[in-house]
């Protein structure tokens, strides 16, 4: 069986995700909409700012009345949040940042360029050009402008933008419901003692927490023992989920019970990926619910989740661009012999340069705790010190 490239696997996954029915739309307050996916573009309903206003504390003037040395009396004081009178000719208005410009005024001089005279009038030290320190009406947006496109995730900035437009509620996709199951007789949940041959279940925590960061509604199905009857029964209990993610039981030669049930009662594609860590991977379906099977080794689970499952999930959530932010960095190590699998190397960034961490085996999670992200070494490629490779920061992969 030849290896399936990461690009080909991703393409299949994204096509499948796009072919699924769109999640329903719900309308939420901004506070409740944090990290949801915007379902409809957000339009400006009015000009922003709604009126010309001052960007400085100073004096609003008619620019043509002000030459260097000009003295003008103050005819009014305009605070932010208050509505001014028209500016009388031959006067200036004391004005503060964010306050509306009075009708007739077309510029503001900042107070540092003025001197207050003994009689309270103001002397301007220099000429004031039109539009100086004025934020024009509609500088940020005009009515009908598309401010945010559909298919983005709403973070603090997008929500603040919606607030500034007076949008109290936004239309978002409902949460994707994802069930997580860990397979393997050797697995033990936290709080239980370890018997001989047993290990603690770390993939459960990895997957549940990663999915929560994506704002999925998570269903913890716990541990599935390597037993065909129990596997059948637990799968049949699956209710109201949009996706099942399993870990373990996809290695070659393994007593793969989940796979067996999917083959019998649903569908199953088994892939050998040109990916390191993370060669075995399954994509199946059970009663219409897609099932993603990740390899059990902790680093393989991590990489396959981040590189393949995450973009699939984001696409299901309605996100237009499911690709994490990445950038190119120089590396401080060489890989003289090319591999046939694309490698995602756990690296730390030191002065902007990628340093490979010790212990890259698929069974080891510890090096990932010391890493800032994954460095992508394409298949059939060597690298020399100083070469640039694509770096995927955990800060964006877990965003």
Q: Residue from 53, 247, 360, 367 that binds ligand AMP (CB under 6 A)?
A: 247
Q: Is 293 helix (H, G, I), strand (E, B) or coil?
A: strand
Told to check if 260 binds ligand AMP by CB under 6 A, we report no
Using CB under 6 A as the binding rule, the residues of this chain from 360 to 389 that contact ligand AMP are: 363
Q: Nearest residue to ligand AMP, using CB?
A: 296
Q: Which stretch binds Mg ion (CB under 5 A): 179-187, 235-243, 284-292, 362-370?
A: 179-187
The whole-angstrom separation of Cα 289 and Cα 189 is 26
**For residues 354-390, b (16+ Cβ closer than 10 Å) or e, as one string?**
bbbbeebebebbebbeebbbbbbbbbeeebeeebebe
CB nearer Mg ion, residue 167 or residue 300: 300
201 binds, among Mg ion, ligand AMP, none (CB under 5 to 8 A by kind): ligand AMP
Among 84, 277, 296, 373, binds ligand AMP (CB under 6 A): 296
Distance CA 284, CA 259 (A): 8
Given ligand AMP, Mg ion, none, residue 298, with its beta carbon under 5 to 8 Å by kind, binds ligand AMP
**Between 155 and 194, how does the x/- string for binding to ligand AMP read (CB under 6 A)?**
---------------------------x-x-xx-------
**Which of the listed partners (Mg ion, ligand AMP, none) does 45 bind, with a CB threshold of 5 to 8 Å by partner kind?**
none
Burial group, residue 193, by CB count within 10 angstroms (0-12, 13-18, 19+): exposed
78, 91 contact by CB (below 8 A): no
Q: Which stretch binds Mg ion (CB under 5 A): 53-61, 157-165, 245-253, 330-338?
A: 245-253
Residue nearest Mg ion, CB atom distance: 184
Q: Which of 298, 318, 322, 393 binds ligand AMP (CB under 6 A)?
A: 298
Q: How far is the CB of 255 from ligand AMP (least distance, A)?
A: 9
HSE-up (13 A, CA, CB side) for residue 68: 1
Total of chain residues touching ligand AMP, rule CB under 6 A: 20
Shorter beta-carbon distance to ligand AMP: residue 100 or 298: 298
- Residues 52, 263: Cα–Cα separation, whole Å: 67
- Closest CB 310 distance from Mg ion, rounded Å: 23
CB of 302 to ligand AMP, least distance (A): 11
Q: Is 184 in the site for Mg ion (CB under 5 A)?
A: yes
> Any bridge partners for residue 272, and if so which?
280
The whole-angstrom separation of Cα 124 and Cα 352 is 50
Q: What is the DSSP string of 85-124?
A: PPPPTT-EEEE-TTPBPPTT--EEEEGGGEEE-TTS-EEE
Answer yes or no whether residue 259 interacts with ligand AMP by CB under 6 A. no
**Contact call for residue 298 and Mg ion (CB under 5 A):** no
- Rounded CA-CA distance 24/174 in Å is 6
CA-nearest of 163, 346, 186, 172 to 254 is 186
Residue 293 found at the interface with ligand AMP (CB under 6 A): no
Q: What is the C-alpha to C-alpha distance for residues 55 and 80, in angstroms, rounded to an integer?
A: 11
# of chain residues touching Mg ion (CB under 5 A): 3
Q: Does 210 bind ligand AMP (CB under 6 A)?
A: no
* Binding partner selected for residue 210 from Mg ion, ligand AMP, none, CB under the kind-specific 5 to 8 Å limit: none
Please state, in angstroms and rounded to a whole number, the distance separating the CA atoms of residues 397 and 399: 6
> CB of 74 within 8 A of CB of 91?
yes
Q: What are phi and psi of 140, to 5 degrees?
A: -90, -40
Decide if residue 203 touches ligand AMP (CB under 6 A). yes
d(CA 182, CA 247): 5
> Strand 289-294 and strand 243-247: pairing?
parallel
Which of 101, 181 has the CB closer to Mg ion?
181
When binding is defined by CB under 6 A, the residue of 248, 259, 277, 290 that contacts ligand AMP is 248
Residue of 52, 58, 102, 249 that binds Mg ion (CB under 5 A): 249
CB of 199 to ligand AMP, least distance (A): 6
Give the span between the Cα atoms of 148 and 241, in whole angstroms. 29
Write out the residues near Mg ion by the rule CB under 5 A.
Answer: 184, 248-249
Write out the residues near ligand AMP by the rule CB under 6 A.
Answer: 182, 184, 186-187, 199, 201-204, 247-251, 254, 295-298, 363
């Amino acid at each position: 069986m030849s290896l399936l490239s990461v690009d080909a696997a991703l393409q299949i996954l994204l096509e499948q995700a796009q072919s699924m029915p769109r999640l329903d739309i719900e309308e939420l307050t901004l506070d409740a909409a944090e990290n949801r996916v915007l379902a409809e573009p957000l339009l400006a309903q009015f000009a922003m700012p709604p009126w010309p206003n001052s960007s400085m504390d100073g004096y609003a003037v008619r620019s043509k009345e002000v030459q260097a040395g000009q003295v003008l009396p103050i005819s009014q004081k305009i605070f932010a949040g208050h509505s001014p009178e028209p500016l009388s000719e031959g006067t200036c208005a004391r004005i503060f940042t964010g306050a509306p410009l009075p009708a007739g005024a077309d510029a503001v001089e900042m107070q540092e360029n003025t001197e207050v005279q003994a009689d309270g009038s103001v002397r301007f030290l220099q000429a004031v050009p039109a539009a100086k320190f004025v934020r024009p009406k509609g500088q940020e947006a005009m009515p009908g402008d598309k401010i945010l496109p559909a298919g983005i995730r709403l973070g603090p900035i997008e929500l603040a933008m919606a607030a500034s437009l007076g949008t109290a509620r936004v239309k978002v996709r409902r949460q994707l419901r994802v069930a997580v199951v860990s397979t393997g007789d050797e697995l033990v949940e936290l709080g239980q003692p370890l018997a001989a041959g047993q290990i603690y279940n770390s993939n459960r925590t990895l997957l549940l927490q990663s999915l929560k960061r994506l704002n999925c509604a998570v269903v913890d199905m716990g541990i599935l023992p390597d037993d065909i009857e129990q596997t059948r029964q637990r799968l049949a209990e699956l209710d109201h989920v949009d996706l099942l993610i399993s870990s373990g039981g996809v290695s070659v030669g393994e007593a793969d019970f989940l796979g067996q049930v999917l083959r019998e009662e649903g569908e199953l594609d088994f892939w050998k990926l040109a990916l390191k860590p993370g060669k075995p991977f399954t994509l199946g379906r059970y009663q219409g619910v897609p099932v993603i099977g990740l390899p059990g080794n902790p680093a393989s689970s991590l990489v396959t989740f981040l590189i393949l499952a995450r973009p699939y999930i984001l696409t299901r959530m309605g996100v237009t661009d499911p690709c994490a932010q990445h950038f190119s960095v120089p590396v401080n190590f060489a890989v003289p012999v090319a591999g046939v699998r694309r490698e995602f190397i756990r690296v730390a960034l030191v002065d902007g340069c990628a340093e490979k961490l010790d212990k890259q085996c698929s069974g080891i999670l510890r090096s990932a705790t010391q890493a800032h992200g994954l460095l992508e070494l394409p298949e059939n490629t060597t690298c020399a010190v100083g070469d640039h490779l694509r770096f995927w920061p955990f800060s964006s992969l877990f965003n």
